[in-house]
Amino acid sequence: MSAKGAVEAPPLDPPPLAADDAPFVPALPAWLHTRLPARAVRPTAFTAHTLRIVTGSVLVLYLFVLALRLLAAAAGGVADLLQRIDAHGPLNLLGFGWLLAYGALSGSPVAALALSLLHGGAVTTSEALGMVSGSRFGASMVVLLVGFVAYLRGRRRPDGIYVGVLALLTTATIYAPATLLGLAVLKAGWLRGTVEQLPLQWESIATVAKPLVSALDERLPAAALFALGIGALLGAFALFDRLLPNLDPPSPRIERLSRRFDSPRSMFLFGALITSVTMSVSLSVTILVPLTLKGIVRRNAVIPYIMGANITTFIDTLFASFLVPGGGATEVVLVEMLSVTAVSLAVLTLAYRPYQRALLAIAHRVSAQPRWLAAFLAVMTLVPMALLFA
């Protein structure tokens, strides 16, 4: 055939490579793909996530140190305020911290403020312990607030309010004897020598904020320093919350995990575990509202969960105490944690059933009738005010 009439044949595929010549391409097994998170197979996304966590953590640490130093510098102004309202002693400061936590809807900033005031000389160690205890009393109010919102937006089911009332009752009945026990331990000084020997004082980290704090202290009054310190403290906690795992609404994994805990001791450990992850008792106890509404967590399982959460919630406050010079702040936090743990374990071991029945009966009555809820809220408002001005 002539060249003009020839039809070009399609190019042949290259011959297959022999087994020895084939390039090695590693491949993950199919079962492993289903278990690895998405970022494990996307190095770029993983690097960006890691960089965000590291950068955010450094910024949180700086804001935290800056806030503690600013509040310590403004402690003289706070001392004058406490003197004007004649607030002194652990009971007065308990009411003061309680009301401040109501306003902040969180206890952690108030507890950190107590440590700064201790460092600045505005309060003593026993008064700081009272203020830290008060911050825990007031932090539970946010759970009742979330439960009330769920009641208004839902089907008028009182489960959310019930959980909020239980949170306040459990905290109050555990922390009242724990505070008295803590004051006795603090006065005896049983942990003072031990804390002073622990290599946990990170004063060198706090020097990063010293130039800025010194400059502001020379130019601003105590009230402005206090306002800046509160702003930096709230900003640090807000940023810290963004870096933590999101548990609102509870993930299916949390829901499945909560179904496995039935006994009081297991729910106690579950509450401690969730709060150690979230670093906030307000957040960890608040997730009980949707879990209870869905029937995943039973009402009688709420109490030990709250008891466990009320212990590990001090992890962030303990970290803050390491940034405060001297061992007084760390001693206060450790005494508080050990006292709450001792009272909680005593209740779980020796008197849990009658304790549970009493709290459930009160919570049922309060959450079922509006007039009882109003009376309960009035008591929870008047008690800290009476403690503050007693």
Number of domains in the chain: 1
232 domain-assigned: yes
13 domain-assigned: no
pTM of the model as a whole: 0.76
Catalogue the E-assigned strands of the chain. Answer: none
Q: Which structure tokens are listed for 148?
A: 């009330």
Long-range residue pairs from 177-181, CB within 8 A, at least 24 positions apart, any chain: 177/343, 178/133, 178/336, 178/339, 178/340, 178/342, 178/343, 178/344, 179/90, 179/94, 179/129, 179/130, 179/133, 179/339, 181/339, 181/342, 181/343
382 domain-assigned: yes
Q: Which residues contact 72 (CB under 8 A, 6 or more apart)?
A: 116, 117, 119, 120, 324
Residue 266: domain span: 48-389
39 domain-assigned: no
Residue 323 and residue 330: Cα distance in Å, rounded?
9
Closest C-alpha to 147, from 240, 12, 282, 266: 282
How confident is the model at residue 34, as a pLDDT? 46
83 domain-assigned: yes
30 domain-assigned: no
Number of residues in the chain: 390
6 domain-assigned: no
* Cβ(132)–Cβ(317) below 8 Å: yes
- Angle between helix 352-368 and helix 370-389 axes, rounded to 10 deg: 110
16 domain-assigned: no
Tens-binned pLDDT, residue by residue, of the chain (390 aa)? 444 455 555 554 445 544 444 444 444 445 444 444 544 445 565 687 677 777 877 787 788 788 888 888 888 788 888 888 899 999 999 999 999 999 887 888 899 899 989 988 899 999 999 999 999 998 888 778 877 777 776 555 677 788 889 989 999 999 999 999 999 999 998 888 777 666 655 555 667 777 888 888 888 888 888 889 888 888 877 787 677 655 555 556 655 665 666 678 888 988 888 788 766 666 666 676 666 666 666 777 789 988 998 999 898 888 888 888 777 889 999 999 999 999 999 999 999 999 999 999 999 999 888 899 889 999 999 999 999 998
Residue 304 and residue 302: Cα distance in Å, rounded?
6
Residue 181 and residue 336: Cα distance in Å, rounded?
9
